[in-house]
Amino acid sequence: MKKFQTTNHKSQTSTKFQAQNSKPRFGSCNFGSKVNVFTFDGRSPGICRGGKFWNLFGIWDLGFGIFRAPRGFGLIEVIVGVALITLFLFGVAEVGKLGSRLIDSSGDRLQTAFLLEEGIDALRGIRDTGWSSGIAPLVVDTDYWLVFDGVRWTHSTSSRPFIDGRFDRRFKLSQAQRNASDDIVSSGGTVDPDIRKIAVSVSWQERGATTTMSVSTYITNLFSN
Residues contacting residue 203 through CB under 8 Å, at least 6 positions apart = 167, 168, 210, 211, 212
pLDDT band (50, 70, 90) for residue 39: very low
- Please give the pLDDT value at position 148: 93
Q: What percent of the chain has pLDDT over 90?
A: 44
What is the model's pLDDT at position 97? 75
Determine the straight-line distance between the first and last CA of the chain, rounded to whole angstroms: 137
Residue 89: per-residue pLDDT: 84
- Reported as a single tens digit per residue, the pLDDT across 123-132 is 999 999 999 9
Burial of 112 (0-12, 13-18, 19+ CB in 10 A): buried
For 171, half-sphere exposure in the C-beta direction (CA atoms, 13 angstrom radius) is 29
Band (152; pLDDT cuts 50, 70, 90): very high
Residue 17 has pLDDT above 50, yes or no: no
Rounded to the nearest integer, the mean pLDDT of the chain is 75
Tell whether the model's pLDDT for residue 188 goes beyond 80.
yes
DSSP 33: -
The pLDDT of residue 98 is 72
Going edge to edge, which strands form the sheet with 168-178? 184-185, 168-178, 190-206, 209-220
Residue 211 identity: T
Residue type (1 letter), 9: H
Q: What is the pLDDT of residues 104-117, one digit of tens each?
A: 678 888 899 999 99
Q: Quick one: which of 55, 19, 63, 17 has its CA closest to 34?
A: 55
- CA 51 centroid distance within chain: 47
pLDDT value at 6 more than 50: no
d(C-alpha 171, C-alpha 214), whole Å: 9
Confidence of residue 18 (pLDDT cuts 50, 70, 90): very low
Q: Taking residues 67-85, what's their average pLDDT?
A: 70
Instruction: Output the CA–CA distances (angstroms, integers) from residue 60 to 21, 23, 39, 73, in the order listed.
Output: 13, 14, 9, 13
